[in-house]
Structure 1
Amino acid sequence: MYNFFPECPFHKYLHLDCPGCGSQRAIHALLHLDIKKAAGYNLLLVLSLPLLITQLTFKIYSFSTKKNLVMRFWYNPNTPKIIFAIVMIFWIARNLPYSPFNYLAA
């Protein structure tokens, strides 16, 4: 096992999972096309990928065609609040020791 990447301080000292815990393992699993395993490591990362890939596709298309193609909801003032709420709910839910929530733990 390599210790190249630093440990998550939240997990190291509080023994709880932060929203990003398991992201590196999830990306590794995705690179090996194992979506089920990746979702087990960090479900929020896996669920956010289609949206991020769509945004990247729009950006590449806009750059290559010189047409301004945007996803308008990114520019809504409520979008950062909604994303923050989703991350906070995920953070709390993945640390609950109850049956449906313990599957969210990294």
Structure 2
Amino acid sequence: MDASASPAAAAPDPASTPGPGPVPPPAPVSRLRRLAVPVGAMAAAVAAFGYVAAVDPNEPGHYPVCPMLRFTGLLCPGCGGLRSAHAFAHGDLATALGSNALAVVGYVVLAVVWLLWTVRASRGRPLRIGVAPVYWWGIGAVLLVFSVVRNLPFGSALAP
């Protein structure tokens, strides 16, 4: 049996096979393109706040009633959020906190995350926020406690 008939000799050598060659690295992305998504997200948030600032949620008939409040009479963690956003957009922080303090905290947290996202995008690095399950459970616990306390007589200060 000669060497050319063996299975090892029949298989072509991948290094000697002609092909397209090494894959070139991707072209660098411009800073404007990297910032397009964070800027678009901010534009959407500004448009939403602008709409809520223009259409007063304190006047009945502009927005639907919270289903939980309507059917159970209980305030959910989001009740008062539109009134809070309206007051926040008009610069009335005291009224915003009185309508839904948790929503105001959420506005600040989202603004900080957006700022971090924008800075990292401008530097060409992705935003990776790894939140451990224990933190998600903690956020859920805070929302539950907030909901329960604002529906009790001693927590009426948290009610809108």
2:156 is equivalent to residue 102 of structure 1: yes
The normalised TM-score by structure 1 is 0.86
The equivalent residue for 2:118 is 60
Residue identity matched to 2:157: Y
Q: How far has the Cα of 1:16 moved from its partner? A: 1.5
Matches of 1:91 and 1:67, distance apart in 2: 38
Off by >3 Å, runs of 4+ in structure 1: 68-71
Correspondence for 1:9? 67
Root-mean-square deviation (Å): 1.6
Structure 2 gap segments, 5+ residues each: 1-58
Q: Secondary structure at the residue paired with 1:42?
A: helix
State the one-letter code of the partner of 1:96. Answer: L
In the alignment of these two chains, the number of paired residues is: 102
Partner Cα separation in structure 1 for residue 102 and residue 61 of structure 2: 25
Choose the corresponding residue for 2:103, options 37, 45, 59. 45
Tell me which residue corresponds to 1:75.
Answer: 131
Task: Give identity over the alignment, percent.
Answer: 31
Q: Which amino acid in the other structure matches residue 144 of structure 2?
A: M
> Are the equivalent residues in 2 in contact too, given 1:19–1:90 (CA < 8 A)?
yes
- Structure showing greater radius of gyration is 2
Normalised TM-score (structure 2): 0.59
